[in-house]
Chain A
Amino acid sequence: ETGVTQTPRHLVMGMTNKKSLKCEQHLGHNAMYWYKQSAKKPLELMFVYNFKEQTENNSVPSRFSPECPNSSHLFLHLHTLQPEDSALYLCASSQGIDRGNEQFFGPGTRLTVL
């Protein structure tokens, strides 16, 4: 148990659906992250939020829309996804965004786009 929870754990959606992934951290951290993990590819950073402000958008398509209402919650809104977006989406948090801050990961949401 890392102190970072993600829901749902599994999600199957069609290309026309709209869904949201949720992440919550109980560690009192100020920074939160979304990563995409595809088979046989490195973990890819998608977004970084620090004190609810987005500090990184790693050239992510607009069909992925993050939301960070407070430092404890992070959402990833999904709409009109493509089959190649099927992957494990990991959320992480850290004390801050200074280099060397340990990141704590959630268990991930396994997303399948049909």
Chain B
Amino acid sequence: GENVEQHPSTLSVQEGDSAVIKCTYSDSASNYFPWYKQELGKGSQLIIDIRSNVGEKKDQRIAVTLNKTAKHFSLHITETQPEDSAVYFCAASSQGGSEKLVFGKGTKLTVNP
């Protein structure tokens, strides 16, 4: 089955700097890669996703890149702000008829003012 590794587990940056979180996956058949932001008491929200037919997707300060050959994808946050502080999860969809997302362990991002 699918296995997703996420690094780093914690990340601390200064406000205005960039933050990068990396994930690798094992199942070459996976073709959907969402990123979720989990804030305390608010649940997890999808912030960006990418499908295997594209290599990069950008939404304002957030971008995701995908390297299918190397089986890794990354989340890039530019001009970080304190409100970006949260736990971020990557995920990959594995084979099967149902939506069976496999998640990474999460990265706790702290943006220091």
* Residue ranges of A at the interface with B (Cβ–Cβ < 8 Å): 2, 4, 9, 31, 33, 40-45, 48, 50, 55-56, 90, 92, 94, 96-108
Interface string of B16-33 (1 = CB under 8 A from A): 000000000000000110
User: A28 → chain B, closest Cβ, in Å?
Assistant: 17
Q: How many A-B residue pairs have CB under 8 A?
A: 72
Give complex CA distance A26, B99 in Å: 20
CB–CB B99/A107 < 8 A: no
Q: How many residues of B contact A (CB 8 A)?
A: 29
Check B105 against A99 for contact (C-beta < 8 Å): no
The dominant DSSP class at the B interface is: strand
Contact A97 B104 (CB under 8 A): no
A15 to B43, CA, bound (A): 27
Q: What residues of chain B have their CB less than 8 Å away from a CB belonging to chain A? A: 4, 6, 9, 31-32, 34, 36, 38, 41-46, 49, 51, 89, 91, 93, 97-106
